[in-house]
């Protein structure tokens, strides 16, 4: 604790200049005598700190004295600032910690590197939220993060369909994906203990228990998330549809996702005189595919499966009845 306070005193003097013993004591909630002992300790470590007596006096570092982080290049420092996303940090309850860390990093850098790192905040802003969407409610994130850090079980009530289920989880980590928070956790289900992913916004209630758990030594959050995300994307498409699509409709396939657009490119046949081409795309389900393809209007015709043609025909008739 004292070593941390000594470093913080050094950072404050470096960033703010002169400070009185009383001000330092109030900042760290210690006695003035303790501050004097800390200053003596810094002096013994060859930190050039001196005291001015009288009105306007206080402790101050010698001019031009800066601490340095040995071996930290400009690019490395800039990357650290770029990685400090204020939005996610605030949602996790770490906004003040992030600000403090960046303050210390700034103070410890050489002048040229410090100026370059500061420019990051004026040149780049990272917004992970997709267009026309808002970030999920994050009121439970700090509790989940603390439970994952301290390896403590949590009881949750999780939204499922029109109802909810109750689970006891062993939280292994948190993932922010396109503005949406997920908790990866081990859960005891009807089929046994499994590692699963839960959307934080769907957690209705949460209670931190007194039960501790032992995190699996071989668990790798990044590797698990990468593999499960890939499996989800591959398993999402359970069927295929063959379409005739107009030239102006091909670019619109981007709205249906990169996998659909790439499949259309790979399967596109020779264009007819009219410019229409035949393609085959993956689909999740008949209902989902119908909803997606309606967005393309008359620029696409479904050739098969027949069930999808019937579903689109039904939707078209309902629209005609509605609008006459």
Stronger pLDDT, 297 or 138, i.e. the higher one:
297
Instruction: Give the mean pLDDT of 21-40.
Output: 87
Whether the per-residue pLDDT at 84 is higher than 60: the answer is no
pTM tops 0.85, yes or no: no
First to last CA, the chain: 76
Q: How many CB atoms lie within 10 A of CB 34?
A: 16
Give 219's contacts (C-beta < 8 A, 6+ positions apart). 172, 195
The boundaries of the domain holding residue 82 are 74-123
Name the range with the highest mean pLDDT among 52-56, 186-190, 238-242.
238-242
Stronger pLDDT, 188 or 32, i.e. the higher one:
32
% of residues, the chain, pLDDT over 90: 28
Per-residue model confidence (pLDDT) at position 191: 66
Stronger pLDDT, 179 or 288, i.e. the higher one:
288
Does residue 129 sit within a domain?
A: no
Does residue 9 sit within a domain?
A: yes
96 confidence band (pLDDT: 50, 70, 90): low
Residues 215 and 300 both lie in one domain: no
The residue behind tokens 């499949």 is: 263
Per-residue model confidence (pLDDT) at position 111: 66
Per-residue model confidence (pLDDT) at position 128: 65
Residues 222 and 261 both lie in one domain: no
Does residue 264 sit within a domain?
A: yes
Domain count, the chain: 4
Q: What is the CATH number of the domain that holds 154?
A: 2.30.30
Per-residue model confidence (pLDDT) at position 110: 65
Does residue 133 sit within a domain?
A: no
51 confidence band (pLDDT: 50, 70, 90): confident
Q: What is the CATH number of the domain that holds 34?
A: 1.10.10.10
Q: How far is CA 27 from the centre of its chain?
A: 32
Give 111's contacts (C-beta < 8 A, 6+ positions apart). 66
Q: Give DSSP secondary structure letters for 198-209.
A: EEGGGEEEEEEE
Does residue 130 sit within a domain?
A: no
Whether the per-residue pLDDT at 185 is higher than 90: the answer is yes
Per-residue model confidence (pLDDT) at position 45: 79
Per-residue model confidence (pLDDT) at position 275: 87
210 confidence band (pLDDT: 50, 70, 90): very high
Per-residue model confidence (pLDDT) at position 26: 86
Residues 186 and 258 both lie in one domain: no
Instruction: Give the mean pLDDT of 135-149.
Output: 80
Does residue 131 sit within a domain?
A: no
Instruction: Give the mean pLDDT of 125-145.
Output: 71
Whether the per-residue pLDDT at 212 is higher than 90: the answer is yes
Per-residue model confidence (pLDDT) at position 137: 59
Instruction: Give the mean pLDDT of 8-36.
Output: 84
- 201 near 137, Cβ under 8 Å? yes
Q: Give DSSP secondary structure letters for 25-82.
A: HHHHT--HHHHHHHHHHHHHTT--EEEE-STT-EEEEPTT-----TT--HHHHHHHHH
Q: Among 46-50, 123-127, 269-273, which is the least confidently predicted range?
A: 123-127
Residues 192 and 277 both lie in one domain: no
Whether the per-residue pLDDT at 42 is higher than 80: the answer is yes
User: Order of strands, edge to edge, in the sheet holding 192-199?
Assistant: 192-199, 180-189, 163-177, 152-160, 203-212
């Amino acid at each position: 604790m004292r070593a941390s306070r000594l470093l913080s005193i050094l950072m404050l003097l470096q960033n703010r200049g002169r400070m009185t013993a009383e001000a330092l004591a109030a900042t760290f909630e210690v006695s003035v005598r303790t501050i004097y002992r800390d200053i003596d300790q810094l002096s013994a470590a060859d930190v050039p700190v001196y005291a001015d007596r009288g009105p306007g006096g206080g402790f101050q570092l010698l001019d031009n004295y800066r601490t340095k982080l040995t071996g930290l290049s400009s690019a490395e420092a800039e990357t650290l600032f770029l990685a400090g996303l204020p939005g996610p940090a605030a949602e996790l309850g770490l906004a003040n910690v992030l600000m403090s860390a960046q303050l210390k990093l700034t103070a410890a850098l050489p002048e040229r590197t410090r100026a370059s790192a500061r420019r990051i905040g004026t040149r780049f802003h990272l917004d992970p939220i997709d267009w026309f969407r808002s970030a999920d409610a994050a009121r439970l994130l700090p509790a989940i993060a603390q439970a994952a850090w301290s390896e403590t079980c949590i009881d949750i009530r999780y939204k499922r369909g029109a109802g909810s289920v109750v689970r006891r989880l062993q939280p292994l980590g948190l993932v922010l994906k396109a503005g949406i928070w997920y908790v990866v956790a081990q859960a005891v289900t009807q089929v046994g203990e499994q590692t699963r992913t839960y959307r934080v916004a769907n957690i209705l209630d949460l209670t931190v228990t007194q039960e501790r758990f032992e995190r699996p030594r071989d668990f790798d959050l990044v590797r698990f998330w990468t593999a499960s995300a890939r499996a989800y994307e591959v398993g999402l498409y359970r069927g295929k549809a063959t379409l005739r699509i107009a030239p102006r409709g091909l670019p619109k396939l981007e709205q249906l996702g990169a996998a659909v657009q790439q499949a259309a490119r790979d399967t596109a046949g020779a264009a007819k005189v009219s410019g229409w081409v035949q393609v085959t795309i993956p689909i999740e389900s008949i209902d989902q595919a119908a909803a997606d393809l309606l967005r393309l209007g008359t620029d696409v015709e479904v050739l098969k499966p027949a069930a999808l043609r019937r579903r689109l025909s039904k939707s078209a008739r309902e629209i005609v009845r509605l609008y006459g």
